[in-house]
Amino acid sequence: MKITDLKCAVIGNNPVVRINTDEGIYGLGQVEASKSYLKPHVLFYKDLILGQDPTDVERVMLKIRRLGSFKPWGSAVSAIEMALWDIAGKAVGAPVYKLLGGKIRDRVRVYNGAVRFPMAGGQSPANYADNMQRMKDAPQKFSIIKQGLAFHGGRITESPKHFYGTHQPGPFHANRGPLSERGLNYIVDCIRAMKEVCGDEVGLALDLGPGFLVPDARRLAQAVEDLNVAWLEDMLTGDYVPYVSADHYREVTQSTSTPIHTGEQIYLRHNFQELIEKRAVDVIGPDPCDIGGIAELKWVAEYADMHGILMAPHGVLDGLLGLAALVQVAATLPQNYLAFEYPTGQPEWWYDIVAGLPDPIVVDSHIAVWDAPGMGVDLIAEEARRYLREEDAGFFDL
């Protein structure tokens, strides 16, 4: 079998990768919905993989893996990798989890990072509590819910009473700097209000940065030790930060019993090595759409397990094809696995153009692992064509 074409179409906001072969088998992969600009980066790799056998996944990846980088620049490599596994599974008539060593669980736990409701009435602790109640009552019955706060949500950096730094407007979480005592207390009050809603039925995870300095991160983690939160995520580095700061994370982690988490922006196992070997965090959360694909994610999970570190993969914007990839790899992960972040289809019409997903998808915070070949899902061409841009009209052609 040989690769005959690599295509990329932006469907909605998600770049979708399609790899065609000379035997008529094709594979699909998906990039996060926030990265519609990455289509040219996907196509950059086309000439490097044409003519290769897609079922030799690692051989193909050796040609392109070293040309990626931290979020968002590893996304193209990651989507190609997932499309290769999709082909490999279809070629042998087996689900991808079989090719990754087989499953150790029949259902995979997911946590909520994408099923959201508007924050009504402001951003007081009471508003956060009300919002958390709505997520707790969602039909998926999530056992862990993650909420953005501090540098990852709200307007704390806009208030000189809360933040001593200079506010940087714009996307990609550009703010970083010291908090005032009032700012720190406000964050703690919001966490306490949400935890009161969650009780011990639902784990509360907090996505807080990046942007904290080490002293504030240490003080916050210590201040909420009595609440038994699931984790504090990306306080120092993380989303769109192209480095790890393992020593800084280790300083925070060793100062507290509150679990500390990071990893969504990190590309390749090599960039997790120091974080894991120094036990710099308690939980890591690589995203399959950023780390370099699902085999890379599994390697990191196994290495983390050897060092006593838990695994909670990121995935909030990975879309429904990304969801399928997460289900396949999560079924195979070792017993340090907690849950992966459940991605949804946005806009809602994504559910009309993808076949193979269970209905409902999530039951009691779990997804049943399916056994269809490859990733087990597919785009319904006749439905999806209506959402293609004019330049992508030939996306479904063999």
Domain ranges of the chain: 3-95+379-392, 98-375
- Give the CATH class of 3-95+379-392: alpha beta
Q: How far apart are CA 110 and CA 342, in angstroms?
A: 6
Whole-Å CA distances, 106 to 329, 331, 367: 12, 7, 9
pLDDT of amino acid 337:
98
Give me the residue label for tokens 């995870």. 205
Q: How far apart are CA 133 and CA 217, in angstroms?
A: 26
Give me the residue label for tokens 């993808």. 354
Would you say 288 and 316 are in contact if contact means Cβ atoms under 8 Å apart? no
pLDDT of amino acid 32:
93
DSSP 49-67: HTTS-TT-HHHHHHHHGGG
pLDDT of amino acid 174:
87
Calculate what percentage of the chain has a pLDDT beyond 70.
Answer: 100
The residue ranges of the chain whose pLDDT is under 50 are none
Q: How far apart are CA 174 and CA 180, in angstroms?
A: 18
Through-space distance between the first and last CA atoms of the chain, rounded to whole angstroms: 14
Give me the residue label for tokens 């289900």. 327
Whole-Å CA distances, 192 to 125, 200, 235: 8, 13, 18
Q: How many residues does the chain have?
A: 398
Give me the residue label for tokens 């932006």. 10
Could you give the 3-state DSSP secondary structure of residue 223? helix
Token pair recorded at residue 260:
């500390």
pLDDT of amino acid 329:
98
Would you say 353 and 28 are in contact if contact means Cβ atoms under 8 Å apart? no
Whole-Å CA distances, 195 to 105, 126, 128: 29, 11, 10
pLDDT of amino acid 171:
81
Token pair recorded at residue 254:
């060793």
The dihedral region occupied by 204, where left means phi > 0, alpha psi between -120 and 50, and beta the remainder, is beta
pLDDT of amino acid 120:
87
Token pair recorded at residue 350:
């994504």
Q: Number of C-alpha atoms within 13 angstroms, CB side, residue 49?
A: 34
Domain 3-95+379-392 and domain 98-375, same fold? Reply is no
DSSP 266-310: --SGGGTHHHHHTT--SEE---HHHHTSHHHHHHHHHHHHHTT-E
| Cα 16 → chain centroid | 16
Q: Provide the b/e sequence for 230-251 (b: ≥16 CB within 10 Å).
A: bbbbbbbbbbbbeebbbebbbb
| Cα 390 → chain centroid | 30
pLDDT of amino acid 215:
98
Whole-Å CA distances, 3 to 60, 88, 350, 374: 10, 12, 27, 16
Q: Which contiguous run of DSSP H or E holds residue 145?
A: strand 144-148
Pairing label, strands 366-368, 3-11: unpaired
Instruction: Please determine, looking at this structure, whether the domain spanning 98-375 carries the CATH number 1.20.1260.10.
Output: no
Q: In the chain, what are the helix, strand and coil shares in percent, each to the nearest 5?
A: 40, 15, 45
